[in-house]
Amino acid sequence: MNRKIFNIFSIGFVKRDKDGIFVQINESYRPALKQLDSFSHVIVVWWADKFDNDKNRSILQCAPPYAKDKVTGVFASRSPQRPNPVSITTCKILDVNQEKGLIKIENIDAFDETPVIDLKAYFPVTDRVREPKIPEWLTNWPEWFPDGGIGLED
């Protein structure tokens, strides 16, 4: 089957300032935030715009930072260097202000002004695997999403 191309657009962006870390949603999409405040976590889908170039989008294998001696395919990693630089980060929700379009989150591994393309409430039934298996070279990693979230420093 041939390659198909689709248009994806930003619905907002990551905002980092002295008051914390936020997802700022464009005004026209704010009604889509209704009820998000009844969830503790949200999956932020964002576009790794700094890696959106032909070179990075042609990278298929990498030596991940957590296992530098292991060459893995990018589909077995969370590297932002991949054919489509779509990233997903689970984030703890601290506050939702629907009127202002601001979701205050605990942390995210995206830079200030990174385009956000979707938000999805975290559902245990779809997202929480009871006994996931990972390769032995990753077993020194935490078994759960950390309280402080996943940030740029991780």
Q: Which of residues 19-78 bind a second copy (CB under 8 A)?
A: 24-26, 29, 31-36, 38-43, 45, 47, 49, 52, 60-61, 70-78
Structural tokens at position 14? 């990551």
Q: Do the beta carbons of residue 78 and residue 63 sit within 8 Å?
A: no
State the Cα–Cα distance between residues 123 and 114, nearest whole angstrom: 24
Minimum CB separation from a second copy for residue 20, in Å?
18
Q: Is 134 in the site for a second copy (CB under 8 A)?
A: yes
Question: Both tokens of residue 61?
Answer: 């294998």
CA distance 4 to 6: 7
What is Dmax (Cα atoms) for the chain? Answer: 49
Applying CB under 8 A, which of residues 21, 22, 80, 82 lies at the interface with a second copy? 82
Binds a second copy (CB under 8 A): choice among 4, 18, 55, 68: 4
- Of these, 17, 19, 69, 143, which contacts a second copy (CB under 8 A)? 143
Residue closer to a second copy, measured from CB, 3 or 55: 3
Told to check if 94 binds a second copy by CB under 8 A, we report: no
**Closest CB to a second copy among residues 20, 115:** 115
Binding residues for a second copy restricted to 107-126, rule: CB under 8 A = 113, 115, 117-126
Q: Which is nearer to a second copy, 16 or 70 (CB)?
A: 70
Residue 98 vs residues 29, 59, 117: alpha-carbon distances, Å? 10, 38, 17
| Residue pair 68/141 in contact by the 8 Å Cβ criterion | no
State the minimum distance, in angstroms, from the CB of residue 28 to a second copy.
8
At 97, which helix (H) or strand (E)?
A: strand 86-97
